[in-house]
Amino acid sequence: MASQQQVLRDTTRLASTTMVLQVVFRVLTFTLNAFTLRYVSKEIIGIVNVRLTLLYTTVVFLAREAFRKACLSHSAQQSWRHTIHLTWLAVPLGVCWSLLLGWIWLSILEVPDPTIIPHYGTGVLAFGLSAVIELIAEPFWVLAQAHLFVRLKVIAESLAIIVRCSVTVILVLMWPRWGLLIFSLAQVLYTSFLSLCYILYFAKFLGSKEAEKKSFPLHSMMEFFPRYSGSQDFLDWKQAWLAWSFFKQSFLKQILTEGERYVMTFLNVLSFGDQGVYDIVNNLGSLVARFIFLPIEESFYVYFSKVLERGKDVKSQRREEIAAASEVLESLLKLVTMIGLLIIAFGYAYSQLALDIYGGPLLSAGSGPVLLRFYCLYVLLLAINGVTECFTFASMSKENVDRFNYIMLGLSLSFLCLSYYMTIWLGSVGFILANCFNMGLRISHSLHYIRKYYKDTSFQPLYGLLLSPAVICTLAVSAALTRYSEVTLCCDMGWPSRLAHILVGALCLSGTLAAVVLSEGKLTHFIRSHFLSTKPKKKV
**Host domain of residue 420:** 258-462
Q: Decide which of 189 and 179 is more confident.
A: 189
User: Does residue 369 belong to any structural domain of this protein?
Assistant: yes
Residue 489 lies in a domain: no
pLDDT at 15: 64
* Residues 197 and 264 placed together within one structural domain of the fold: no
Which amino acid would we find at residue 385? N
DSSP 3-state of 362: helix
86 contacts 71 by C-beta, under 8 angstroms: yes
Q: Are residues 390 and 455 in the same domain?
A: yes
Residue 58 falls within a domain, yes or no? yes
Answer yes or no: pTM beyond 0.75. Answer: no
Most confidently modeled range among 15-29, 160-174, 239-253, 489-503: 160-174
Q: 208 and 272: one domain?
A: no
Exposure pattern of 115-134 as b/e (b: 16+ CB <10 Å)?
eebbbbeebbebbbbbbbbb
The stretch 186-200 carries a mean pLDDT of: 94
How far apart (Å, rounded) are the C-alpha atoms in residues 459 and 53? 43
Q: Which of the residue ranges 165-179, 208-222, 496-510 has the most confident prediction, judged by mean pLDDT?
A: 496-510
Residues 243 and 137 in one domain: yes
Distance in angstroms (rounded) separating the CA atoms of residues 306 and 300: 10
Does 310 lie in the same domain as 207? no
Residues 262 and 138 in one domain: no
Could you say which of 429, 462, 495 is where a domain stops?
462
- On whether both 240 and 268 belong to a single domain, the answer is no
Tell me if 451 is assigned to some domain. yes
Statement to judge: residues 53 and 194 lie in one domain? yes
Supply the pLDDT for residue 412: 77
How confident is the model at residue 4, as a pLDDT? 61
Do 151 and 274 reside in the same domain of the chain?
Answer: no
Please list, in sequence order, all residues whose beta carbon lies within 8 angstroms of the beta carbon of residue 391, skipping any fewer than 6 positions away: 300, 304, 325, 329, 446, 450
Question: Averaged over 362-386, what is the pLDDT?
Answer: 86
pLDDT tens for each residue of 88-103 = 999 999 999 999 999 9
d(CA 357, CA 474) in angstroms, rounded, equals 27
CA atoms within 13 A on the CB side of 288: 21
Judge whether 288 lies within some domain: yes
Residues 196 and 280 in one domain: no
DSSP secondary structure letters along 429-455: HHHHHHHHHHHHHHHHHHHHHHHHHTT
Pick 372 or 495 by higher pLDDT: 372
The pLDDT of 466-474, averaged and rounded, is 94
Same domain, 270 and 287: yes
Q: Report how far apart the first and last C-alpha atoms of the chain are (Å, whole number).
A: 13
Residue 295 CA to residue 153 CA, distance in Å, equals 11
Average pLDDT over residues 444-462: 89
pLDDT band at 3, cuts 50/70/90?
low
Cβ 471 vs Cβ 511: under 8 Å:
no
Boundary of a domain, candidates 462, 478, 498 = 462
How many independent structural domains does the chain possess? 2
- What are the percentages of helix, strand and coil residues in the chain, rounded to 5? 80, 0, 20
Higher pLDDT, 297 or 190: 190
Q: What is the pLDDT of residues 205-235, one digit of tens each?
A: 887 888 787 778 787 888 888 777 665 666 7
Average pLDDT for the chain: 83
Is 168:186 a contact under the CB 8 Å cutoff?
A: yes
Asked whether residue 165 is domain-assigned, the answer is yes
The alpha carbon dihedral of 102, 106, 108, 112 has a sign of: positive
- Say yes or no to pLDDT of 250 above 80: no
Neighbours of 421 (CB within 10 A): 13
The answer to whether 305 touches 20, Cβ cutoff 8 Å, is no
Task: Give domain status of residue 398, yes or no.
Answer: yes
Q: Which of 225, 250, 275 is the last residue in one of the domains? A: 250
In a shared domain, residues 88 and 141: yes
For residues 150-169, give the mean pLDDT.
Answer: 84
Work out the pLDDT band at 55, boundaries 50, 70, 90: very high
Most confident by average pLDDT, 140-154, 240-254, 332-346: 332-346
Count the Cβ atoms, other than its own, within 10 Å of residue 316: 9
Q: What is the pLDDT of residue 308?
A: 83
Cis peptide before 491 (omega within 30 of 0): yes
Measured distance CA(464)–CA(460) in Å, rounded: 8
Query: Does residue 328 form part of some domain?
Result: yes
Asked if 401 and 384 touch (Cβ cutoff 8 Å), the reply is no
Neighbours of 537 (CB within 10 A): 12
Q: What is the pLDDT of residue 29?
A: 64
Over 70: is that where the pLDDT of 337 sits? yes
CB neighbour burial string for 136-167, b if at least 16 within 10 angstroms, e if fewer: bbbbbbbbbbbebbbebbbebbeebbebbbeb
